[in-house]
Amino acid sequence: MAEAILHVHRGDASGGALEEYRVPLEEGMVVLDAIHHIQGHQAPDLAVRWNCKAAKCGSCSAEVNGRPKLLCKTRMDAYPPGAPIVVQPMRTFPIVKDLVTDVKWNYEVNKRIAPFTPKKDAEWRWMQEDIDRVQEFRKCIECFLCQDVCHVLRDHRLHERFIGPRVLVHVAALEMHPLDVADRLPELRAEHGIGFCNITKCCTTVCPEGITITDNAIIPLKERLVDRFYDPIRSFMRMIGID
C-alpha cells in the first residue's frame, strides 16, 4: 500500500520541531485521517483539536504546507505523492501543544463590538431581499483561518490594534442588519484598526465557507467610513448641523 510522509509539529510554547511519520494512504483520505492514524498507531499523545470532521465546527484549523486549512477538509491527494506534507499549528495564535493553538483572543475581541441593537418598536418582519446581504456572513464557522492568514496579525502582530477579518465580518453583519441601529463606525475607525486592512483578499481566499470577506464585508465598511468621515459635503453638512 502507498504511504504518505507527514512532517508534524510536536512541541509547546517552550519550543518544538517537526517529526516525521509514515501513514498508509487510503482513497479519499483527508489530513485529519492521517493525523488520527498517527495518534492511533504511533503517537497517542499527539494533540489535535477537532469535533465534526465535516468542515462545520471550525475546530481543526491548522496549516498544511504553510497554508491555513481545515484538516478535515484537506484531501491528502491534493499534494504530490511521495513528497512530505508539513502540518503545523496556526502561526497567528499562541501554541498550546502540537497542532492546538489558543484562539481565545478572537472571542475577547468579539466582546468589544457593540451587540445587536434593534430599533425601538421594531417590526420583526422583513423581506428576504433585506436580509440577503447579511445571510452570507452568518455562515461563518469561526475557524479563524482568515485571522491566521491576515498579514496584519500574522506578520505584523498588531493584535492590539486590529480586530481582523473574522471580526470585521461580524461587524458587517450587524451594521447591515435592517433592524440594527447601533453605530459602530467611530470605533471601527479609531480602535478597531480597519485602516490596517489593505484589501489583499488573502482572508477571502482561505475561508472554507466561501464568504467574500473583503468585497462584501470589509470594503462596504470602509466605504461607510469614507462617507461618514471624509466626504467633504457630509463634513460641511455636519459643520452646519444638518447631518
The Cα–Cα gap between 110 and 190 comes to 16
β-partners of residue 87 are: 8, 64
Which position among 59, 74, 204, 214 is part of the footprint of ligand FES (CB under 6 A)? Answer: 59
6: CB partners within 8 A, 6+ apart: 20, 21, 22, 23, 31, 34, 35, 38, 84, 85, 86, 87
Choose among ligand FES, ligand SF4, none what residue 217 binds, the Cβ cut-off being 5 to 8 Å by kind: none
The CA-based diameter of the chain, rounded to the nearest angstrom, is 78
| Stretch binding ligand SF4 (CB under 6 A), from 1-9, 31-39, 114-122, 164-172 | 164-172
The nearer residue to ligand SF4, 46 or 165, going by C-beta atoms, is: 165
Torsion of CA 105, 110, 113, 115, to 10 degrees: -150
Please report the DSSP string for 161-223 in residue order: T---HHHHHHHHHHHT-TTB----HHHHHHTS-GGG-----HHHHH-TT---IIIIIIHHHHH
Which position among 62, 71, 103, 169 is part of the footprint of ligand SF4 (CB under 6 A)? Answer: 169
Nearest to 158 by CA among 109, 113, 203: 109
When asked if residue 50 is in the footprint of ligand FES (CB under 6 A), the reply is yes
Choose among ligand SF4, ligand FES, none what residue 207 binds, the Cβ cut-off being 5 to 8 Å by kind: ligand SF4
When asked if residue 201 is in the footprint of ligand SF4 (CB under 6 A), the reply is yes
Residue 52 φ then ψ, to 5°:
-95, -30
Choose among ligand SF4, ligand FES, none what residue 90 binds, the Cβ cut-off being 5 to 8 Å by kind: none
Choose among ligand SF4, ligand FES, none what residue 213 binds, the Cβ cut-off being 5 to 8 Å by kind: ligand SF4
When asked if residue 109 is in the footprint of ligand FES (CB under 6 A), the reply is no
When asked if residue 144 is in the footprint of ligand SF4 (CB under 6 A), the reply is yes
Q: For residue 31, what is its C-alpha cell?
A: 489530513
Q: Are 167 and 215 in contact (CB under 8 A)?
A: no
Q: For residue 159, what is its C-alpha cell?
A: 493584535
When asked if residue 55 is in the footprint of ligand FES (CB under 6 A), the reply is yes
Which position among 5, 25, 57, 174 is part of the footprint of ligand FES (CB under 6 A)? Answer: 57
Which position among 90, 152, 167, 172 is part of the footprint of ligand SF4 (CB under 6 A)? Answer: 152
Which position among 32, 163, 203, 221 is part of the footprint of ligand SF4 (CB under 6 A)? Answer: 203
The nearer residue to ligand FES, 60 or 185, going by C-beta atoms, is: 60
When asked if residue 31 is in the footprint of ligand FES (CB under 6 A), the reply is no
Footprint on this chain of ligand SF4 (rule: CB under 6 A) = 140-146, 149-150, 152, 165-166, 169, 197-203, 206-209, 211, 213-214, 218
Footprint on this chain of ligand FES (rule: CB under 6 A) = 50-53, 55-60, 70, 72
